[in-house]
Structure 1
């Protein structure tokens, strides 16, 4: 029998440290929606990131520019998958919420502009009079405003 949301949340209570962020304690969503039946709120968040257009575009963004190609060519997607694996392992070792940790790790680079940190610096200079540009804030804007997966609300 598959685990429903309540069973998954019960497993969290049994496995995670008391200082961890439990799915049941999520502050909710900007737009009210029904509780997931077969996954936790943070599992749904993680899945939404994985299925977003912004996440898929990470495969087209180069992480490090090197001369030549081959196995040294890196994309933001491969970097993000490695960050997620490391973050999950750390969360597991510290008995934190692995799903929340993975969602944060998978979404951490969604707001990077083209040309890496040089592009971010150029945008920051251009936007200085309007609050600047910072890729972490842009990542949040991407998942909350720019993605249009649902007809009733953005994100």
Structure 2
């Protein structure tokens, strides 16, 4: 596959950003695969950031907004960091974008999947594992699934 020159890297970056927000790390990875040896991917990324075309803050807010209805805060933060966003930017995006509290969001995810309380320990464990895989904290899961199979949570 033929590598693309720097001007083409700019246009490729613009096309990627036109479809959805990307973190700087994502763009760097994608553009590096298409860059020739003399091309300066960092210069293209710096220029995109200077002009406001690429922003990790905007990417993080968009990412959290689009997935907040399905994932817990722990998972959202993990996913953002995995995509190259710093922990500070991820924390800021989570605090600014998430309007509902964690328990309310967990209840929404739980009701779509299950809708009724667990009948026995096995069902409780299955529901708890599901919520945990979605990134909800153990405290939130206990509060949501509070019944005879778990110690009551304070609050």
The TM tier, using the shorter chain, reads: under 0.3
- TM-score w.r.t. the length of structure 1 is 0.23
Q: Report which of the two structures shows the higher radius of gyration computed on alpha carbons.
A: 2
- TM-score, scaled to structure 2: 0.23
